[in-house]
Amino acid sequence: MRITDDQIRRAPKVLLHDHLDGGLRPSTIVELAAEQGYRGLPPGTAGDPGALGAWFREAADSGSLERYLETFAHTVAVMQTRDGLARVACDAAEDLAADGVVYAEVRYAPEQHLEQGLTLDEVVGAVNEGFREGERRARAAGSRIRVGTLLTAMRHAARSLEIAELANRHRDDGVVGFDIAGAEAGHPPTRHLDAFEYLKRENNHFTIHAGEAFGLPSIWQALQWCGADRLGHGVRIIDDIKVTEGREGGAAGEGAELGRLAAYVRDKRIPLEMCPTSNLQTGAASSYAAHPIGLLRRLLFRVTVNTDNRLMSGTSMSREFAHLVDAFGYGLDDMQWFTVNAMKSAFIPFGERLAMINDVIKPGYAELKSEWLFADTASGSSPDGAGHRDEQQGTA
């Protein structure tokens, strides 16, 4: 039996790849645009959150990363003030918590929020304040979430060292790492080596968007030249994997031949931040069923499930999991495996990651997995729960 959408939502989830400026509520954009006098929203959407949400999903559904990124002009436009930034961050924490996310790393590019005179440090302060408020509101509403941020530098720009220094300055104040994003083709990560080398000298953490719109060379550079701790997307790693038999898999991944780079990624347990719906929209994958995450999970790469941009993709962590459940028949054990992978790969201290895994994630899944024991026997449904138990088998 398929796990239910309600179980998926209640299951504890961990999110490592989510853009703050890609996750606004359409209603918040409409309100902030009216408050701030922003007149640039697409025709017919300024007073209509439903139409605006649909516009983002359609405009982002272009098959090209460059076109997809153009839609961010409208979200970034209303994130130029302290209040705007704090409001968006607060909403994000509440929305993620309501969706069952217990830990999230949300990223944004401070350099894109300076148009109305805020300094880089003020931008970080406003976002942090919003997240703390959102965490409080979530707690008041009965759910628990912790949010850390990643500061992104735009790969076509030249401020990466400055943003890396900003991330380092705020590392004890909610910023847990650094990222590079933006159009991939023509903007290799090696242009930002000084930023990465600085962060390594500071013993700090970073991830790099790589292997999304551009192939293996981008992944190779991100890992071997830049030293990334994780890969944003990394889907093109499948270009270095050859399926040799009908059925690949097994603990060591028999039935597939890994090239040197793919073997390195798996051997070193490099976390892959996969974002299935986003990849369908930008053309990095053709369908959920054909998404490389299925193969990579079977080959036991350190794969994680993420949203990327909840607004542009009209998605949530629960929706991403629901698509994967439908495409690959995943159950709660698979969800737990992805979630533990993500928590192991987070940028917060080891002790906190471990406590999250042992005291929040595992008990949460244990609770869900035991529900069949208490199923309503009076309704005539079988109390032995055989169908459910079958699903629970396999490794976590």
Burial letters 213-237, b for 16+ CB under 10 A, else e: bbbbebbbbbbeebebbbbbbbbbb
- Of 13 and 107, nearer to ligand NOS (C-beta) is 107
The interface with ligand NOS within residues 207-226 (CB under 6 A) comprises 209, 212
308 sits near Zn ion (criterion: CB under 5 A) = yes
Q: Which two tokens stand for residue 77?
A: 């436009």
Shortest gap between Cβ of 189 and ligand NOS (angstroms)? 12
49 sits near ligand NOS (criterion: CB under 6 A) = no
346 sits near ligand NOS (criterion: CB under 6 A) = no
By C-alpha distance, which of 225, 222, 264, 259 is closest to 244?
259
Q: What is the pairing mode between strands 146-154 and 101-108? A: parallel
Q: Alpha-carbon dihedral of residues 18, 22, 28, 31, nearest 10 degrees?
A: 150
- Of 12 and 148, nearer to ligand NOS (C-beta) is 148
17: annotated binding-site residue?
yes
Q: Which stretch binds ligand NOS (CB under 6 A): 14-22, 87-95, 329-337, 347-355?
A: 14-22
Q: Which of 79, 167, 181, 238 binds ligand NOS (CB under 6 A)?
A: 181
182 sits near ligand NOS (criterion: CB under 6 A) = yes
DSSP state of 224: I
Question: Radius of gyration of the chain from Cα atoms?
Answer: 21
212 is known as an active-site residue: yes
297 sits near ligand NOS (criterion: CB under 6 A) = no
329: annotated binding-site residue?
no
Round to whole Å and give the CA distance between 75 and 108: 12
Tell me phi and psi for residue 35, to 5 degrees: -60, -40
Burial of 373 (0-12, 13-18, 19+ CB in 10 A): exposed
Catalytic residue among 212, 273, 320, 391: 212
Which residue numbers belong to the known binding site for substrate? 19, 21, 182
Q: Which residues are catalytic?
A: 212
Which residues are part of a known binding site for Zn(2+)?
Answer: 17, 19, 209, 308
* Footprint on this chain of ligand NOS (rule: CB under 6 A): 19, 21-22, 65, 69, 72, 76, 107-109, 112, 152, 181-182, 209, 212, 278, 308-309
